[in-house]
Amino acid sequence: MPELPEVETVRRGLIPAMEGAVIARAGVNRPDLRWPLPERMAERLTGRRVLRLGRRSKYLLLELDSAETLLIHLGMSGRMLVSGMRIGAFHHAHPAPGKHDHVVFDMDNGARVTFNDARRFGAMDLMPTETAESHWLLKDLGPEPLGNGFHEAYLVARLKGRRMPVKSALLDQRIVAGLGNIYVSEVLHRTGISPTRLAGRIAAARVARLVPAIREVLGEAIEAGGSSLRDHRQTSGELGYFQHAFRVYDRAGAPCPTPGCAGVIRRIVQSGRASFYCADCQR
């Protein structure tokens, strides 16, 4: 499932096509994705201007001039693909309609944005912009890891006394929003912290070091266009490239890349999710 860097990459790719433009026509080709789509969705979107294209955690937020905001979750296989405009050095013509093109936005600037989702685990909802933060998918989210609300003192306080593995704590969206399995594994390796260590038993100074490491890893991943392991594509259709920089994720059996470490990357399962780490240099 796309994590924060993948969703942020998509957001940045959509801005030239959608922000400030009018949705000349919204085509809704089925009544539901993971859940039923909003009532009269095509009617409520057609003719509306996109004032701002934002992101909260792993959700895209299209703020409209109708005082409504469209929430989009990509799910496991959802893609937002842009055609009909120049992206970088290439002009992407409109492709033929695809079997899994469930929602299509034709913009007044000539761009077309297609939401394609083979597995239909994605989701969309329309909500009043004024109360968007109280939406049931957003109201309990913690601070953004790249925002000012996420800092060393905050994380130390939130992890203090917690009797759960630190990896589980960092995946808890109520503590910090947007982190997923890939990037937590990478962050823990960079900071030398074992994913199995209880969060409340990590010294405050070590917890504090997680904050800049999280920002560093996320920043590098965004610049690389995210990680394409199976379904993620940028809005141009291109792959992300951060998977080539993984130190531990999906590298079980490989030598640990930490200079001077003779360990080997291990794979364990925590709460149904694979964790990758080096037992020699992560304690």
Q: Among all residues, which ones are annotated catalytic?
A: 2-3, 58, 273
User: How many CB atoms are located within 10 Å of the residue 97 CB?
Assistant: 11
Strands 50-56 and 85-87: unpaired
- Distance of alpha carbon 113 from alpha carbon 116, whole angstroms: 10
Contact criterion met (CB below 8 Å) for 46 and 40: no
The answer to whether the CB of 185 falls within 8 A of the CB of 277 is yes
- Residues 6 or more apart whose Cβ sits within 8 Å of residue 174: 140, 141, 142
Q: Torsion angle of alpha carbons 224, 99, 31, 231, nearest 10°?
A: -20
Q: State how far the alpha carbon of 5 is from the alpha carbons of 1, 46, 215, 232, in Å.
A: 11, 29, 11, 11
Amino acid at 96: A
Number of C-beta neighbours around residue 156 at 10 A: 18
How far is residue 187's CA from residue 168's CA, in Å, rounded to a whole number? 13
Give the C-alpha separation, 188 to 282, whole Å.
Answer: 8
Alpha helices, H only, 31-134? 41-45
Decide: helix, strand or coil at residue 276: strand
Is the C-alpha dihedral spanning 272, 273, 276, 279 positive or negative? negative
